Structure 1
Amino acid sequence: MSGRRIDHAALLGAIVDQFVARQIHPIGDIKQFEQLALGLIDIVDANAAARIARPLCMHPETPASVFPCLLAKGGPCAELALQFAPALPRADLLAAAQGGAPLACAVARRAELDRDVVDALIQRGEAETFRALAANWSLRLDAGARRALALAARDDLSLGRILLDRDDFSGEAEGLFLAATRHERMDIILNACRRALATGKADRRPADPALAVRLEAAALESDRAGMVAILAEALDCRRERAAAILSDAQGEPLALALAALGVDPDAASRIFLAQEANRAPTLSALVRAIPQRAATQIIAATVGGLKGEREAARRVSGRDDLAAAPGWRRPAQVLGPAPLRKADRSA
């Protein structure tokens, strides 16, 4: 009124501080604050508005209209609304899921999400969004979402580790073998052995005789690139995934790969001696003991290779493949809270 320039951010900060200082307000004060706050949020810089409004988002008497206002402002204000708003229209959530990566991650952290919103998040194909969705312990993921995340985790060990900490991923654990701890790997191997023995398909199929010779020669020459190329060709998988198997410090993935390919245990032992002498006896014993069918199941799930196994799995689980396919749409349904993650349940 005196003609001086008004500092709208400072004014917004003052009324927010005054509002959050009290837990209970008369209805008239709430309406007056709502009118002032909405007007100031609209004209204040988005970064400043988000910083000032953060304590407001956690106050029990904050007017509900504040959250759509923050969401409409975009940027950090929208992230704040997505993080704290108790309820938002489905259309707004879907639009945010299809927006920028920060907004998508904020959506992925919400406790309840429509299945179409989860599909939109997954179809982005972004590691950051996948990790945020997987780390949302409050959200129960359906079979299609779990399968899509497990497929992405083949190339993202951090995502695989997050998924293994969830209680709803026991059925997809084979594909997360590279991210598993030693105890988790033993459980995965034992479960695969039980299924393989139950089917009666435990006979070992011999490998191409030249395969073991080539792998052993490359190992003796410390030709890592050569081993990657040979293994990728034999497993019918991408070289990056074959490299991940060879890079594993414990060696079990390589042992399973050799067992799945039918490499003779003696030849496998020589390969291990050239690679990691200290672990050679343990890894050789694993190659001798595990049914080839069990090793094949784990490796096929881990690398997406072994064409024959992929075709067999597709015939058995075509419904799951459809659920994971891009563009597939399920009936709208809200995904509710999930059980506590393993670490929380055992605490």
Structure 2
Amino acid sequence: MARGRENALRRVRGIRLVAGALALGLGLAGLAACGSDEAPAGGGDGKLKIGLAYDVGGRGDQSFNDSAARGLDKAKAETGIETRELEASPGETDSAKEDRLRQLADGGFNPIIAIGYAYATPIGKVAKDHPNVKFAIIDDYSPGTDDGPNIANLTFAEHEGSFLVGVAAALKSKTNKVGYVGGVNTPLLQKFEVGYAAGVKAAKPTATVEVKYLTQPPDMTGFNDPAKGETAATGQLDAGADVIYAAAGGSGSGAFKSIKSKGKLGIGVDSDQYNVPELADVKDVIMTSMVKKVDLAVYDFITSVKAGKPISGNKVYDLKSGGIEYATSGGKVDDIKAQLEEYKQKIISGTVQVPSKK
């Protein structure tokens, strides 16, 4: 009888221990669930869900955004990833950009890449609210704004590449006057302008540079208005310029149209625009392009996240790292390539210091 009661007590204690263990396990699971409601960067199958937010013009701008798209496409072709691409609208507010990034984060996309400095403030806010999502922003590093622990700042030494195409413009100019058409008058585009002007003056001190910006902030339509690009280029050509550097995104197509009509030379930006299919009708006037390898930066970031070692902080792509280059497609700078390469090596070695600000 005593032995029976002892066995019964043992069974009760066993049931209580099992129940306690179950409760503890459920509690820990609940805590883990509360700790993060966000998708990890890569699921159990190793696949990523990548969100990409374009700047104005989006995929198909023949320049900046298209370069980013190439990096995404390359990663997609090589690895099993799901993607979603969203595009900014001309004149939209920071709130609209913030909503776009939140839409991607809430949709389980991780990592998320924002294309363009205009996302600086929005990405800083969204990244704080989604600490387990990896973010990257192209073209901006603003401490206190978009420098969070889960943000990669992928920036470029555009002034170095612009210096080289400035040298090319000066050497090819017959009138001693060249032009610069910028999309929007921002510090970033001024960086292109300053580097370009420095290159022109280095190669030909007596040359002059005509400068025209299509719009002023906050009007960002200067990156996607070919008609304005055509008008600006026509004005510079009529004033005597015979080579124009069009750093204006999708508006550059209009500038090249005008340049072709006048039988002069143009310089592309971001992509090797001589090889852009949409610009086939004007490719014969594009003598070179300042190639900014946004595709490389996007690809590097995606592969770093997939490898479990995401890029963080500010990473600068310059001439030395191969993130900036000048294009030789079409053969129009073959005769001056030795001089361009000489300046390139001087910049890489530090012998030539290229200014980046006015």
Question: Normalising to structure 1: TM-score of the pair?
Answer: 0.31
**Larger helix percent:** 1
Question: Normalising to structure 2: TM-score of the pair?
Answer: 0.30
